[in-house]
Structure 1
Amino acid sequence: MKPDFKAMPLAELRDYVKERRNDDEATYELFVNRRDPNAKKYPAPLDEAGIKTMEEAFRRKIQGKPEL
């Protein structure tokens, strides 16, 4: 019997998903239902310029530099 993912605390749900990566229901709860509504969104790049912009944003994030 699966646990109630909606009632599970976030930290516990993260640990559950780390141990059971193939559990689609738990993964969906973690990454879709509990996503941060204030998270910065990056639209899918439709052209080469968009791809370069996204790559630069990822590089800056990885290097710990502030966003533009």
Structure 2
Amino acid sequence: MASSATAQNAGKRERSTTGQAAGYSYCLRTSAGPGDCKYKSFQQCQAALSGTLGSCERNTGPR
């Protein structure tokens, strides 16, 4: 039973950082994949991006 709960929690964390993250307008992308979509503004995304190679893009997932 404990492993089932662990798997469910891992799934929740994964969904919150994918391109499908609902309610967040921008995604920070540093490599191929869905990106880190937890930014409400372009400025927030740019601040997190500072000092890294990547880009901030509009979240095209469902909101």
TM-score, normalized by length of structure 2?
Answer: 0.29
* Bigger strand fraction: 2
> Which protein, 1 or 2, shows the higher relative CO under an 8 Å CA cutoff with sep ≥ 6?
2
Q: TM-score, with normalisation over the residues of structure 1?
A: 0.27
Structure with greater helix percent = 1
